[in-house]
Structure 1
Amino acid sequence: MEADSSARHISFIETGRSRPSQAMVLKLADHLDVPVRERNALLLAAGYAPHFPETPIDDPAMAGVRAAMERLLAAHEPYPALVVDGTYNVIAANNGILMLLDGLPAQLLTPPLNAIRLTLHPEGLAPKIRNLPEWRGHLLAQLDRQLSLLRSPALKALYDEVAAYPHPEGAGHETVAAEAPFALPLVVEHDGHRLSFVSTIATFNTPMDVTVSELALETLLPADPETVTYLSALRP
């Protein structure tokens, strides 16, 4: 009913007795909230050309998108924020993120940077995360949910890689969920300070490009007054 069709027609499409129109494929995908990349795959399966372009992020046509992201990242300082693509490669990051990555080995900081790998790698942020089991479980569950919606070999390879990482020596085993029951915090040891953040993720509304549909802006918000005081003191 929401797609303004009949059960009979939808059944015929499902069983292959009827070939859906391009408009019907797009309408069903929209009401089922199918990811934009998978909408193109559905169109191809139905015999149509892809509807949504996939423009490289460094293309001149994306200058407006890049500028908007840079403004958002700068406005969030001194708190950490970054933009990632559909496989968690870092597209842009602010000085708050660079602060957290300070001191990590060069091999992990060689482009393209991957946010999940940087977080969970035994030589990355993992040894500094005081509640690593909780945060690792959250990230792996997030990846698993995405894999249920997307046929992405790159994302599956990333999941298999990070899920196999050994637990680094010195990593914390704090259970901090009860400290901020409204959201699981990320608790990081940095330069002798215990920093606590909650994470928010923003995406573009009604994207018309595959690349744009997969961009995500993640902002880390201070979860306690101590983190606010420490980071505010670092502001130039």
Structure 2
Amino acid sequence: MTEHPAHALPPIEAVIYDCDGTLVDSELLNARGVAEMFEADYGIALDARAIESEFRGGQFEQMIDTLAERHGVVIPDDFTPRYRRQMIDLFYRELQPMPGVRAAIEAIELPRCVASSGPEKKLAAALNATDLARYFGDYVFSAYTIGVWKPEPDLFLTAAAALDVAPERCAVIEDSDAGVIAGHRAGMQVFGYDPHGAIARHPDIALTRFVHFDELPGLIAARHGEHAARD
């Protein structure tokens, strides 16, 4: 479903995938890790699902600062490194790719990459633990590398430049509002993976929603093929 019809868009020539919540089913695991550490460190019980819903797609440090202020605690310097180690271990034990994502990646025969707000080591662990790394090689980009996070467009623009494809000819596959806005700001064609209705309405963005990765190859092919037939 395209929320706001796209007119005269150029053909799609590359696909940029978000990672957490898009390629891999990690968002609730991430939130669970935060909740477990707040319980262990401070005796504060947090709802992992509420954390996931409120902070989906955002910067980790901003989330922790918000939670610390809300609950009146001081976060020690070793909190984030401990969390990162815990999550990498958890990923190798429990992380799964999103249903249908491997088949979708293989069916879409266009240049592709990953562009994620997660740090480099955690991103590598997520892709390796789910055997998705082989689809992307060195074309994996982290906001921590460039120091700019979604909803700013910089990460997606960096990815497009590496692929040597104009931004307007790139499809962005995202599951969060921050990612949708970043893709739009980058001038790209945005596809929202939204199986649980977590993405808000964006009437000013040409957002194409889908609920299962089985749909994505056809959506991309239609956008790519229509223009290819005209050229």
Which bracket does the TM-score occupy, shorter chain normalised? 0.3 to 0.5
What is the TM-score with the length of structure 1 in the denominator? 0.32
Q: Between Structure 1 and Structure 2, whose CA radius of gyration is higher?
A: 1
What is the TM-score with the length of structure 2 in the denominator? 0.32
